[in-house]
């Protein structure tokens, strides 16, 4: 970028040179963040390339451009990013999978089998409720349960009670089937 291009770029950003310099730094920082968020290891280089391209075109763009100049930078950045992606070497093909023979085949779990049988006894909506209720982990689990309760039009405590009762029914069913299983052995 030449000095004339840089001066024209700053003039386009703001008539006050100090304000223009501040906007320039904000735009550059934002471009770097955009590239970093896209997983680009050369984010600063691509941000500088974007600014250089805009500076090279600013004399033709600025007179007719309406709106925030930063948006123009972001549009150019998108094209720069796509060009960078095309320059990357193609990934190596994945090797053919080698069949693995499991020396320890899975041991049948009669308790799990009983649970699956008992789940079939539940009404489809109750079965889905139990499956949905026990999804996610940590904070995502809490948020998911709140959304689940909202979706059903009930309070969170009501949802807990409903699931507690369903779980109790499942537990009784599993215990009965397990007793039958043990009696057969």
Q: What is the pLDDT of residues 132-175, one digit of tens each?
A: 998 888 899 999 999 999 999 999 899 999 999 999 999 999 99
Residue 92 domain-assigned (yes or no): no
- Do 125 and 175 sit in the same domain of this protein? yes
Q: Which of 27, 7, 31, 21 is nearest to 70 (CA)?
A: 27
- Do 58 and 122 sit in the same domain of this protein? no
Half-sphere exposure of 50 (CA within 13 A, CB side): 31
In our burial notation (b when 16+ CB lie closer than 10 A, e otherwise), range 71-89 reads ebbeebbeebbeebeeeee
Question: What is the spatial distance between Cα 163 and Cα 78, in angstroms, rounded to a whole number?
Answer: 48
Q: Looking at residues 95-123, what average pLDDT do you find?
A: 80
Read off the pLDDT of residues 117-134 as tens digits, 9 standing for 90 and up: 999 888 889 999 999 998
Q: Which of 155, 169, 158, 161 is nearest to 127 (CA)?
A: 169
H or E, element range at 89: none
Q: Looking at residues 38-67, what average pLDDT do you find?
A: 88
- Do 78 and 7 sit in the same domain of this protein? yes
Instruction: Please say if the pLDDT value at position 113 is more than 80.
Output: yes
Question: If you average pLDDT over each of 94-98, 102-106, 156-160, which comes out highest?
Answer: 156-160
Q: How many domains does the chain have?
A: 2
Domain with residue 142: its CATH number is 1.10.10
Show the DSSP H helices in 17-137 as ranges: 17-37, 43-61, 69-87, 110-121, 124-133
């Amino acid at each position: 970028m030449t000095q004339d291009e840089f001066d024209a770029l700053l003039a386009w950003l703001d008539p006050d040179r100090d304000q223009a310099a501040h906007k320039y730094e904000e735009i550059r920082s934002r471009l770097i963040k955009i590239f970093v968020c896209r997983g680009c290891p050369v984010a600063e280089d691509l941000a500088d390339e974007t600014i250089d391209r805009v500076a090279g075109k600013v004399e033709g763009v600025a007179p007719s451009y309406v709106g925030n100049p930063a948006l123009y930078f972001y549009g150019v950045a998108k094209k720069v990013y796509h060009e960078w992606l095309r320059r990357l070497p193609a990934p190596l093909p994945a090797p053919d999978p080698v069949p693995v023979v499991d020396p320890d085949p899975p041991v049948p779990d009669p308790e799990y089998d009983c649970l699956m049988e008992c789940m079939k006894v539940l009404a489809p909506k109750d079965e889905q409720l139990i499956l949905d209720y026990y999804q996610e982990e940590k904070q995502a689990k809490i948020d998911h349960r709140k959304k689940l309760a909202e979706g059903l039009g009930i309070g969170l405590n009501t949802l807990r009670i409903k699931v507690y009762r369903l779980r109790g029914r499942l537990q009784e069913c599993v215990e009965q089937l397990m007793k039958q299983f043990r009696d057969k052995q």
